[in-house]
């Protein structure tokens, strides 16, 4: 049986006007009245008629998704696929979802932010890749009362409506705990940071901090942890030589930790030179990573259901804007551990999403 506003009002012992204001966020009501209405809604099993609401809307909602270009960074193809899945599911509603991409340069991010604002969105999903431009963008959104959700990188101080992604610091600790199982007394660890322009606001830094803090808590001397950084734009032959020279000079490197999706760049060099006595651990289910896990050159991958990231972020923002639902501040995705023995099963799951 359909629950009417008058039924809710009678149950809660308030006026129909009070119920209307609470259901549609119109005006102020007392805390006591709000609690009584919420209790009545629950007891009556009330659910809003979203299709009727959709028909009543005079103007479509516009959600803009701002994220790295998947043609430049392969990891982002899965979140983009998740966003497309959400677009397909929401096609029956009066909602338009636009995608704006940026490169690994801060200037490109700034330009993309301006493009997003020019689209006059009702809400934004974005990856806060660079510090100052992210602050400026968040301030502009807040000034215009545009709610936003952060994807993949969590910057709580910018006060997003919610965050969707992995808890990066904890993921780093999980990676370290796996490495710890194989670490002998004199072994050394290499943290290989392979990226474009260094981001000031980066989940990669949090993954590194979680990793090093784990070993710090265990009393492992910092001198046993080496760091190697190379830009993705570097010449392949040159960075291969630089890496091998570094590996030789550092001595006794038995574990390599790659805190992003580019573990395959290191593992492919090890494969080329038939180096099998080094444990490599990285992140994310890129095809290149999956193949090298199957071949044994990457021992562990930390996965984060990246397709679900894009999908969930859009659906959450839609629910907040269209259904007027209150959503959680954080939507952390699982820290999944993959290896040669279970990769086939996980790969089947992610391909079926």
Domain ranges of the chain: 5-47, 59-166+306-333, 168-303
DSSP helix, strand, coil percent of the chain (3-state; round to 5): 50, 20, 35
**pLDDT for 48:** 59
What sections of the chain are H helices per DSSP? 5-12, 16-23, 31-44, 50-56, 77-89, 106-118, 131-143, 168-180, 203-217, 236-250, 263-272, 287-294, 306-321, 343-352
pLDDT at 308: 92
Task: List per-residue pLDDT tens for the chain, 353 residues long.
Answer: 566 778 788 888 888 888 877 776 667 788 888 888 888 877 777 655 554 554 455 678 899 999 999 998 888 999 999 999 999 998 878 889 999 999 988 999 999 999 999 999 999 999 999 889 999 999 999 999 999 999 999 888 999 999 999 999 999 999 999 999 999 888 999 999 887 655 555 788 899 999 999 999 988 888 899 999 877 665 667 788 889 999 999 888 999 999 998 999 999 999 999 998 999 999 998 999 999 999 999 999 999 889 999 999 999 999 999 878 888 899 999 999 999 999 888 754 445 44
**Three-class DSSP category at 261:** coil
| CA-CA-CA-CA torsion sign (222, 223, 224, 229) | positive
Query: By three-state DSSP, how is residue 10 classified?
Result: helix
Distance from the first to the final alpha carbon of the chain: 35
In whole angstroms, what separates CA 191 from the centre of its chain?
Answer: 22
From CA 346, how far away is CA 109, in angstroms rounded?
Answer: 33
Residue 257 phi/psi, 5° resolution? -110, 120
Euclidean distance between CA atoms 317 and 121, whole angstroms: 12
The reply to whether 168-303 shares the fold of 59-166+306-333 is: yes
Q: Does domain 59-166+306-333 have CATH number 3.40.50.1820?
A: no
Exposure letters 131-158 (e unless 16+ CB within 10 A, then b): eebbeebbeebeeeebbbbbbbbbbeeb
Joined together, the tokens standing for residue 351 give 């391909």
Asked whether 188 and 226 are in contact (CB, 8 A), the reply is yes
CATH number for domain 168-303, candidates 3.90.800.10, 2.40.70.10, 3.40.50.2300, 3.40.50.300 = 3.40.50.2300
User: What is the predicted pLDDT for the residue at 265?
Assistant: 92
Query: Phi/psi of residue 137, each to 5°?
Result: -65, -45
pTM: 0.78
For residue 232, the model assigns a pLDDT of: 63
β-pairing verdict for 162-165 and 225-231: unpaired
């Amino acid at each position: 049986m359909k629950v009417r506003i008058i039924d809710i009002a009678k149950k809660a012992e308030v006026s129909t006007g009070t119920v209307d204001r609470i259901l549609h966020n119109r005006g102020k009501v007392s805390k006591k009245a709000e609690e009584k209405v919420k209790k009545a809604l629950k007891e009556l099993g009330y659910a809003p008629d979203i299709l009727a609401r959709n028909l009543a809307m005079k103007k479509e909602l516009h959600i803009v998704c701002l994220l790295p270009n998947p043609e430049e960074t392969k990891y982002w193809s899965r979140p983009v696929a998740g966003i497309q899945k959400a677009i397909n599911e929401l096609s029956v509603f009066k909602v338009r979802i636009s995608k704006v991409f940026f490169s690994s340069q801060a200037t490109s991010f700034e330009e993309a932010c301006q493009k997003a604002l020019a689209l006059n969105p009702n809400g934004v999903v974005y990856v806060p890749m660079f510090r100052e431009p992210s602050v400026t963008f968040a301030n502009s959104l807040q000034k215009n009362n545009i709610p936003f959700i952060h994807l993949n990188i969590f910057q709580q101080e910018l006060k997003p409506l919610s965050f969707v992604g992995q808890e990066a610091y904890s993921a780093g600790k999980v990676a370290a705990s796996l490495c710890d199982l194989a670490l002998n007394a004199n072994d050394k660890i290499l943290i290989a940071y392979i990226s474009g322009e260094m981001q000031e606001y980066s989940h990669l830094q949090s993954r590194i901090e979680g990793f090093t803090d784990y070993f710090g808590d265990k009393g492992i001397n910092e001198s046993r942890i080496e760091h190697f950084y190379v830009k993705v734009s570097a010449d392949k032959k040159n960075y291969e030589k630089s890496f091998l020279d570094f590996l030789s000079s550092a001595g006794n490197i038995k574990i390599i930790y790659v805190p992003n999706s580019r573990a395959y760049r290191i593992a492919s060099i090890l494969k080329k030179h038939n180096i099998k006595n080094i444990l490599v651990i990285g992140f994310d289910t890129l095809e290149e990573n999956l193949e090298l896990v199957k071949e044994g050159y990457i021992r562990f991958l930390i996965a984060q259901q990246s397709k679900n990231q894009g999908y969930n972020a859009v659906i959450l923002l839609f629910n907040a804007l269209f259904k007027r639902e209150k959503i959680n501040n954080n939507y952390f995705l699982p820290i999944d551990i993959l290896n040669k023995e279970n990769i086939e099963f996980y790969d089947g799951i992610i391909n079926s999403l």
